[in-house]
Amino acid sequence: MKNIVMQLETLSCPTCAAKIESALKKTAGVKDPEVLFNTSRVKLYFDPKIIDEEGVKSVISKLGYGSLSVKEIS
Amino acid sequence: MKKLSKKTLVIIVSVLVVISYILHKTIAYHPITIAIMLVSTAIAGGPILRRAVSALRYRIVGIDALVSIAVIGALIIGEYWEAAAVTFLFMIGDYLESRTLEKTRSSLKSLMDLAPDTARVRIDGVEQTLSPEDLKKGMVLVIKPGERIAADGVVLEGTAYIDQSSITGEPVPVFKEVGEQIFSGTIITSGYLIVEATQVGESTTFAKILHLVEEAQDAKAPTQKFIERFSRYYTPAIIALSLITYLITRDIHMALTLLVIACPGALVISVPVSIVAAIGSSAKNGILVKGGEVIEKLSRVQAAAFDKTGTLTEGRPSVVSLHAYGMSEEDLLRIAVIGEAYSEHPLATAIIKEGANRGIVTAEVPENPEYIQGKGVRFMLEGETYLLGNRALFEDNGIDMKAAIKDIQTEEHERNTAVIIGTSEKVIGLIAIADKLREEAFEVIRQLKKLGIRKSVMFTGDSKGTAETVAHTLQLDEFRYELLPEHKVEAVKELQKKYGSVAFIGDGINDAPSLATADVGIAIGAAGNDVAMETADVVLLGQKLGSLVDAISISRMAVRNMKQNIFFAIAVAATLLIGVLLGGVTLSIGMLVHELSVLLVIINATRILRFAKRKKYTIL
């Protein structure tokens, strides 16, 4: 399991945050996603055997939100 | 199309909408008019539809879905103008909202921008520039005026004025010299320092503050959690309502308009914007507040319990008065400073510090010092024997204290510690030392009363007499004395039973359990004290007790703001609903009012950011 924090483009409504969060929850290989509205960030764990960073990014971009940076937490 | 910025798209759509509106009014629904309206709808509405569809794939029905259905419906029934207007308004609303939202978040962003990006270090006598991440403990940093300090450290060489506002919220630069502690994220306004790094990277006080503030922004308030749960069921319910309306009335305009006006945009944003603005405003004033829940709790505090030492007082003894008999105060102090040169007792530290403040710094040391346990010291200086200590020391040596007895009694009555200085024949002076009350303590207690805090209570491990004096001076409502740390926890619980919500204000030394027990634990000057920073709900940076009043005021302002926003959002939705049912509110008017209400809610929250400027009182 890898733990990452992603900085997204500014989220302008809390429902967008809720939407991204439930989409990630339903994505295979992603665990405990948490979308932070005020800081426009996503925290999550993912299993590198099932999905990679790009895969996570594409779930979010398909919903219409760009990701600016990804940082791994040790 | 993706390459065009949001701003460009907004401009293009605006132009198209204006042209189509003019055509609509002049030549009515001409094919050209319709074509322009359709292009405009496609540009503005495309992303909305795309987001709605992708969300539906994850079985989420959001605002995008509501708007998409309404627009498609409008197109089907031939209301091209309505479709163009709704998508345009939604797009421009979204754009303006994210711009204003940035503002509510800006004071936090400006704090984060203070993070240093380079560090100049001296390795083997050669200066080189490193990234702050590559710094190691023990490295020697060279910092010049205007530069940001990249690590916590101790000054090895040089003097400087440092702007510590990022750590303390205090804008006046502070003078630093050899041996003093400096913090990462602060800025040298003038001077030059060579510093040894003691904490680097994520372990610096500044990094910890940043981390706490970041976490705080998204620690949700109970009100927010409620609204989120509510909106999860709300949107699907609206679609159902719209469908039912259509089935009953067969009025498709009304059904579609319902979808648009029922968007919960203003409601869901009402709480987070107020919270983030309050956290930002607090941070700008040197106050760390850990999230929305803390803000709500802080606004409801009924009683404030203060730890005495280090919170109401400065926490370290200092000289409060000097009495010299037959010599100047400076000469007396010089003898005392030399006599205490070897001692590390807090009283000695206070005397040496007072000497330094008055420019008495000497390398001289006492000759043949003889320490008498619990009483003081006897030493030789320039051929004369001196005694320095308490009454017992002088009584034991049979030295007449007549000259000083009145002053000694006065000081003891004031609960100050009297350090007596004499020769082998007579008393030559007296230095009174006390743990001074913070200058702003009295004013803070007075302001709390004004804010309607029912009781201000002091906790102390000291004796009844000392406690009484302090409580009387500060006009505290109650005090508890001779308390051990575990007693303090009990006392907090007792207050909770009596008054409800209790805030405990302490310095984090020995009182972490009380900080945790209170409804709101407030730590003062906890920079560098990790336990206090982690345990407390609110941290007053830079040793400023006055910030307590600001913290409570901001939290109340934020809660008021939140309530205004929630009320306003619901009132607007209700008014629109009535408007739709009575007729007269079209799709585009509904969308316009809805977007305006969201904007107003955000703008209302930015008022919290102006708190500092509106402050009606001044506290040191």
- Mean pLDDT within B30-55: 83
For B67-96, how does the pLDDT look when each residue is reduced to its tens digit (9 = 90+)? 888 888 888 887 888 888 888 888 888 888
Q: Tokens standing for B494?
A: 């007792």
Is the pLDDT score of B146 beyond 90?
A: no
- Cβ–Cβ under 8 Å, residues B81 and B20: yes
Select from B505, B535, B556 the last residue of a domain. B556
Residues of A in contact with B59 (CB under 8 A): 22, 26
Is the pLDDT score of B216 beyond 80?
A: no
Q: Is residue B115 part of a domain?
A: no
- Is A2-73 a domain of CATH 3.30.70.100? yes
Task: Give the pLDDT confidence score for residue B617 in this predicted structure.
Answer: 42
For B341-394, how does the pLDDT look when each residue is reduced to its tens digit (9 = 90+)? 888 778 888 898 888 888 887 778 888 888 888 788 999 888 889 999 988 888
Which range in B450-459, B477-486, B535-544 is most confidently predicted, on average pLDDT?
Answer: B450-459
Task: Give the pLDDT confidence score for residue B526 in this predicted structure.
Answer: 62
Is the pLDDT score of A74 beyond 90?
A: no
Q: Is residue B113 part of a domain?
A: no
Interface test with B, best of A25, A27, A30, A39 (most B CBs within 10 A): A39
Is the pLDDT score of A22 beyond 60?
A: yes
Closest Cβ opposite residue B54 in set A10, A12, A62: A62
For the ranges B39-48, B242-251, B384-393, B528-537, which has the lowest average pLDDT? B528-537
Task: Give the pLDDT confidence score for residue B29 in this predicted structure.
Answer: 67
3-state secondary structure of B432: strand
Residues of B in contact with A63 (CB under 8 A): 51, 54-55
Q: Is residue B546 part of a domain?
A: yes
For B486-519, how does the pLDDT look when each residue is reduced to its tens digit (9 = 90+)? 788 899 999 999 999 999 998 877 788 888 889 9
Instruction: State phi, psi for B119 to the nearest 5 degrees.
Output: -140, 135
Same domain, B462 and B424: no
In this prediction the ipTM stands at 0.78
Is the pLDDT score of B618 beyond 50?
A: no
Select from B556, B589, B612 the last residue of a domain. B556
Count of the separate structural domains present in chain B: 3
Q: Is residue B51 part of a domain?
A: no
Select from B556, B574, B604 the last residue of a domain. B556
- Cβ–Cβ under 8 Å, residues B126 and B142: no
Same domain, B527 and B549: yes
Task: Give the pLDDT confidence score for residue B356 in this predicted structure.
Answer: 86
Task: Give the pLDDT confidence score for residue B1 in this predicted structure.
Answer: 43
Task: Give the pLDDT confidence score for residue B69 in this predicted structure.
Answer: 86
Q: Is residue B62 part of a domain?
A: no
Is the pLDDT score of B305 beyond 90?
A: yes
**Which DSSP string do the residues of B136-166 spell out, in sequence order?**
-TTPEEEE-TTPBP-SEEEEEE--EEEE-HH
Interface test with B, best of A15, A30, A61 (most B CBs within 10 A): A15
Task: Give the pLDDT confidence score for residue B616 in this predicted structure.
Answer: 42
Predicted confidence band at B171 (pLDDT cuts at 50, 70, 90)? Answer: low
Task: Give the pLDDT confidence score for residue B554 in this predicted structure.
Answer: 93
Same domain, B442 and B481: yes
Residues of B in contact with A18 (CB under 8 A): 60, 62, 228, 231-232
Is the pLDDT score of B620 beyond 50?
A: no
Same domain, B300 and B443: yes
- Cβ–Cβ under 8 Å, residues B579 and B246: no
**Of B532, B608, B615, whose CA–CA distance to B212 is shortest?**
B532
Domain extent for B370: 318-434
Residue B537 annotated in active site:
no
Q: Is residue B473 part of a domain?
A: yes
Same domain, B346 and B414: yes
Q: Is residue B303 part of a domain?
A: yes
Task: Give the pLDDT confidence score for residue A2 in this predicted structure.
Answer: 86
**Which DSSP string do the residues of B56-109 spell out, in sequence order?**
HHTT---HHHHHHHHHHHHHHTT-HHHHHHHHHHHHHHHHHHHHHHHHHHHHHH
Same domain, B461 and B508: yes
Same domain, B451 and B531: yes
For B43-70, how does the pLDDT look when each residue is reduced to its tens digit (9 = 90+)? 888 888 888 888 787 777 777 888 888 8
**Between residues B348 and A10, the one the model is more confident about:** B348
Q: Is residue B529 part of a domain?
A: yes
